[in-house]
Structure 1
Amino acid sequence: MATFHNAMVAAFGSGMALTLTGVGLIVLCGRDALLDRVSRSSLLHTWTPRIPLFAASAVVAGGVVASALAAGQILAS
């Protein structure tokens, strides 16, 4: 039984490593494509520096909402 669990942990770790590697490669290719288009578009050149601020704001807002929902459930019980 322990061997089965070890195999499952190894499979999960390998799958996670492959997934993260794939996502990283896709992000790098997407970045290069975006930078190529930004160099040719004044509209994208204007908005591209603001994208990290919007992304960070979305993450913070999502965290605040999730925390508020969790706190509501804790207080209700």
Structure 2
Amino acid sequence: MSKKVCEAINEIDKLFNVEKDGNELFINYNETLDAYCPIDKNLEKNKCHSDYHIVSSAFIALLTLFNNLDNDDD
């Protein structure tokens, strides 16, 4: 695997974390991922409102990073 791909995965991993408290699971995330979430009508800006949105946004951000990588064999 390319070194740049590993670095991109690590960068996305830094944007959110999962915590478990008993039977509850919490996903905390960096608000930069909101850019890939739906527009909140009340706030009139993009906002993640569910775990699905957060994880989907992280995946889209990862794909965006992959798309911006040079195609070399580091």
* TM-score, normalization by structure 2: 0.30
Structure 1 or 2: larger strand share?
2
Find the structure with the greater CA-based Rg.
Answer: 1
Higher helix fraction: Structure 1 or Structure 2?
1
Between the two structures, name the one with larger relative contact order (CA 8 Å, sep ≥ 6). Answer: 2
TM-score, length basis structure 1: 0.29
